[in-house]
Amino acid sequence: MKIETPGDFWNDYELVDSGHFEKLERFGRYYMSRPEPKALWDKTLSEAEWNRRIHVAFRPGAGFGKAGKEDSGTWDRRRKMEDQWLIRYRGSQEGLDFTLRLGLTAFKHVGVFPEQAPNWEYIYRNTLDLVKGNAAQGRPKPKVLNLFAYTGAASLAAKAAGADVTHLDSVRQVVTWARNNMELSRLDNIRWVVEDALKFAGREAKRGNTYQGIILDPPAYGHGPDGEKWKLDECLYEIMKCVGAILAPQDSFMVLNLYSNGYSAMLGETVVRQAFGLPQDCPGLECGELVLRDSFGKNLPLSIFVRLRR
């Protein structure tokens, strides 16, 4: 099992400190404090030092932690800052370079999950390999599908590598945000879909459509554009079987990321192995945890991943 963290080369993000169920982060030039249930230890910096740095702090609402209101609350502004601002991700690989617009939402999110940077590196590297391989064989650009795609950092990584990218999310405003990130990054021609991910993948399977890359990062509870509701525990295996049906059997990759429900990396790997019908000895299958390490060396695990390359 792998443990991966964002590289030190990312100048626009830093986990400064963590502890007492909070994290102190820097996004660009702004510092913020947000709740973090997994930060069970003590803070290293004093409360006075935290408060000295903070531009804004998130305060949980009455429904915080409950289904449908997991991250609800309000922002307490301490110092002057813009409502929206930009950060840049310049990866460890030449050409992996994109810009993200951040903002204070009605939830505790700001438009990026920084621990996902290792996944962006994996997506870019494997997409670039497929682009080169397809070109050598006279085949068109690889198609990459990003399900539950949020504001699109993974879509931008695949697009920067030269793929034909389909970006799907059930929230129209989030898709608009992702489109803006594409334009800020001077990329173009991403296909935008506002749809329920499971329904879309099922239709693609019936049509016989396949993708050489599939990325998915499902939430614990989902809502379709027409008000459909689902719980990840009840449909994760079904989603993965649909993904298995539309992922090309050769020259392809898949990235599954899971934040919720206390899933372990081994559970995620088993779900993928069973849904895809993979043998026990499958060298292209890997799993692990994505971790943020604060400036004092404390490791904060935030999600698990399963990746498949074949």
Q: What pLDDT is stored for residue 62 in this prediction?
A: 62
The better pLDDT of the pair 246, 106 is held by 246
Q: What pLDDT is stored for residue 219 in this prediction?
A: 87
pLDDT digits (tens, 9 = 90+) for 81-100: 999 999 999 999 999 999 99
Are the CB atoms for 97 and 280 separated by under 8 Å? no
Percentage of the chain lying above the pLDDT 70 cut: 94
DSSP structure class, residue 116 = G
Name the average pLDDT for the chain.
93
> Is the per-residue pLDDT at 226 higher than 70?
no
Domains and CATH numbers, the chain: 7-90 (2.60.40.1180), 113-309 (3.40.50.150)
Q: What pLDDT is stored for residue 223 in this prediction?
A: 64
- State how far the Cα of 101 lies from the Cα of 241, in Å rounded to an integer: 34
List b or e across 24-62, with b for residues whose CB sees 16 or more CB atoms inside 10 angstroms.
Answer: bbbbbebbbbbbbeebeeebbbeeeebeebbbbbbebbe
> Is the per-residue pLDDT at 184 higher than 90?
yes
Q: Could you tell me the sign of the dihedral formed by the alpha carbons of 237, 243, 246, 248, in that order?
A: negative
Q: What pLDDT is stored for residue 214 in this prediction?
A: 98
List b or e across 188-217, with b for residues whose CB sees 16 or more CB atoms inside 10 angstroms.
Answer: eebebbbbbbbebbbebbeeeebbbbbbbb
| 27 residue type, one letter | F
